[in-house]
Amino acid sequence: MADDSDKLEVMRHSASHVMAEAVKALFPEARFGIGPPTDEGFYYDFELPRPLTPEDLPTLEAKMREIVAADLPFHREECDKARARQVFADQPYKLELIDDMPDGEVISIYRQGSFVDLCRGPHLATTGQIGPFKLLSIAGAYWRGDERRPMLQRIYGTAFETQEALDEYLHRLEEAEKRDHRKLGKELDLYSIHEEAGPGLVLWHPKGAMVRQVIEDFWKQEHLKRGYEIVYTPHIFKAGLWKTSGHWEMYRDSLYSPMDVDGQDYIVKPMNCNGHILMYKTKVRSYRDLPMRWAELGTVYRYERSGVLHGLARVRGFTQDDAHIFCRPDQIEDEVIGVLDLARFMMQSFGFADYQILLSTRPEKYAGTIEVWEQATAILKRVLDHVELPYEIDPGEGVFYGPKIDVKLKDALGRAWQGPTIQVDFNLPERFEVTYVGQDGQPHLVAMIHRTVLGSMERFMACLIEHYAGAFPVWLAPVQAVVIPIADRHLEYARRLEAELRAEGLRVQVDARSERMNAKIREAQLQKVPYMLVVGDKEVEASAVAVRLRSGQDLGTQTLAEFKAMARSAIAARE
């Protein structure tokens, strides 16, 4: 029996075994993969004689309830490889797992009733101790995450200690489904991804591109204010550059295969840093020139397995809001403080008040010496302590060339999204001999700070869509106002309003369709347009507009000057 502190995890793990027993009862020929607990529930992978459908889940749940009601004890057994292979002789996926275990390792097996599974445990004492549960969905999953291996069927479920906690979680799931950026991205005509073009490659539609442009323009303005310079680098480089940097060795699985160009290997860039380093090295730099802050909205390409691609949140081609700061070692702390200040300003500007900070330390595969890693990690820790930001240590999650500060944004539902990152790097400057001339007239290695303050435009857009449920604040909305003429005779006035408001910098459209006014209002609300400007005879005569909000609130008639002032105020306040 587990301690109370991890009882929920143990309960969910036990529930996954009960689910597997239910599947075995309905499909005796089932072959079993793995069934671990997760942060929010559990899953189990199966090879079954037919595809499952959502209609199968209530049947499986009913069978699980029978098993829970039977209050069957979980029995642990220990054996060697030979015995384990006998027990699971008809289960090829279990046999593969057994064969991968070190010789001589004690193997544990758990039984409840007639069901037996290969498992390290621990489990509850009996099935009857499993709390309220729910099976949630069915998905496909490659065996061991490898698309070259068989596709199994994965059943997701969850379990909680009380019905109230389960109901609350299911409500959050309903809200998350309504906010799903893949669903809203299609409904709001923001972007698309096409099998013909390639999985994980995003096509930005006009509305999505407009939101992105507003974000990028704001990003550039704020960087210029803070002493950054904007640069651009190519999408492909010679492969040898990535061998020098260590990406070829440390990051190979994420790089696309080289292409032959005039007999030499090139690859599409996975990162922007090497290009910035080459630009830095075009001149001899003095200590007086530093720090140099170079920013780039640079598009990069990284291979991701098809099974983990997820809308805009996990893609193969994405644009980083990247920057690299070249500085002296004595400038690092001040520069990191400046980046944190910019990151906090950006998060606040986009409506994120809650976030989690992690200090990610040396991974298993790393470049450089342990001493250099400890030096860089200590700098980041001192900065976080100095600015009095609470943080947690995230062991082994740094990048191969340096430790980093990771900021996880919390959206309206409390879910965490990868946001700003700040990395201190002494390794790439050494590999590329990136130096400055010091006061002593001698060359010294620069320190590099790699950083983003949004992450990637794609993932940040996914986060924004779900945070606001598609109802962007006025300053970000792709269409800020729709002019709705009641009848065709009001169309000329509507067009004049459109032109005048556009001249003021507002993003406005006229709904000239021959639909009823209420249908046009409903369509604008579905498109989550902040303002609907209804114009009829009264408005034409008074040179005014009847203003409605997407919430359904009717603000009544306003003069055009009053509406402009209201809209400008909302945009300036980034409401």
pLDDT digits (tens, 9 = 90+) for 176-223: 999 999 999 999 999 999 999 999 999 999 999 999 999 999 999 999
**For 453-458, what is the mean pLDDT?**
94
In degrees and rounded to multiples of 5, residue 125 shows phi and psi of -70, -40
Of the ranges 41-45, 146-150, 441-445, which one carries the lowest mean pLDDT score? 146-150
**In this structure, are residues 230 and 296 in contact, taking their beta carbons and an 8 Å threshold?**
yes
With bands split at pLDDT 50, 70 and 90, how would you rate the model's confidence at 443? very high
Q: How confident is the model at residue 4 (pLDDT cuts 50, 70, 90)?
A: very low
Q: In the prediction, which pLDDT does 19 show?
A: 97
Positions annotated as catalytic residues are: 273, 302, 320, 322, 324, 404, 450
Supply the pLDDT for residue 205: 98
Region 425-454: mean pLDDT is 96
Residue 2 pLDDT exceeds 70 = no
With a cut of 70, say whether residue 1 has pLDDT above it.
Answer: no
- Report residue 308's pLDDT band, with 50, 70 and 90 as the boundaries: confident
310 has pLDDT over 50? yes
The pLDDT assigned to 119 comes to 94
Q: How confident is the model at residue 250 (pLDDT cuts 50, 70, 90)?
A: confident
465: enclosing H helix or E strand: helix 457-467
Rg (CA), the chain: 29
Asked if the model's pLDDT at residue 517 lies above 80, the reply is yes
- Long-range contact pairs involving 181-186 (C-beta distance under 8 Å, separation at least 24): 181/311, 181/312, 181/313, 181/461, 181/462, 181/465, 181/466, 182/310, 182/311, 182/312, 184/465, 184/466, 184/469, 184/470, 185/311, 185/312, 185/465
Mean pLDDT over the full length of the chain: 94
pLDDT category, 5, cuts 50, 70, 90? very low
Report the C-alpha gap between 328 and 426 in whole angstroms.
11
Three-state SS for 474? coil
Q: Give me the pLDDT at residue 507, please.
A: 98
Residue 3 has pLDDT above 50, yes or no: no
CA separation, residue 259 to residues 199, 238, 266 (Å): 20, 9, 5
Q: What is the mean pLDDT of residues 404-431?
A: 92
- 62's enclosing H/E stretch is helix 56-69
| Residue 475 pLDDT > 90 | yes
Percent of the chain with pLDDT over 70: 99
> How confident is the model over 126-140, as a mean pLDDT?
96
Q: What is the pLDDT of residues 72-93, one digit of tens each?
A: 999 999 999 999 999 999 999 9
Share of the chain above pLDDT 90, in %: 90
What confidence score (pLDDT) does residue 146 get?
83
Give the pLDDT score at 6: 82
pLDDT over threshold 90, residue 339? yes
The residue type of 414 is G
Q: Tokens at residue 165, please?
A: 């906690």
Residue 202, exposed/middle/buried by CB under 10 A (0-12, 13-18, 19+)? Answer: buried
Q: Tell me the CA distances in angstroms from 90 to 40, 301, 368, one per residue in order.
A: 31, 42, 48
pLDDT per residue over 221-237, tens digit each? 999 999 999 999 999 99
Give residue 147's pLDDT. Answer: 80
Q: State the DSSP string of 214-266.
A: HHHHHHHHHHHHTT-EE----SEEEHHHHHHHTHHHHSGGGSPPPEEETTEEE
What's the whole-number mean pLDDT along residues 254-277? 95
The pTM (predicted TM-score) of the whole model is 0.86
What pLDDT does 530 receive? 98
User: What pLDDT does 81 receive?
Assistant: 92
Centre a 10 Å sphere on the Cβ of residue 390 and count the other Cβ atoms it contains: 7
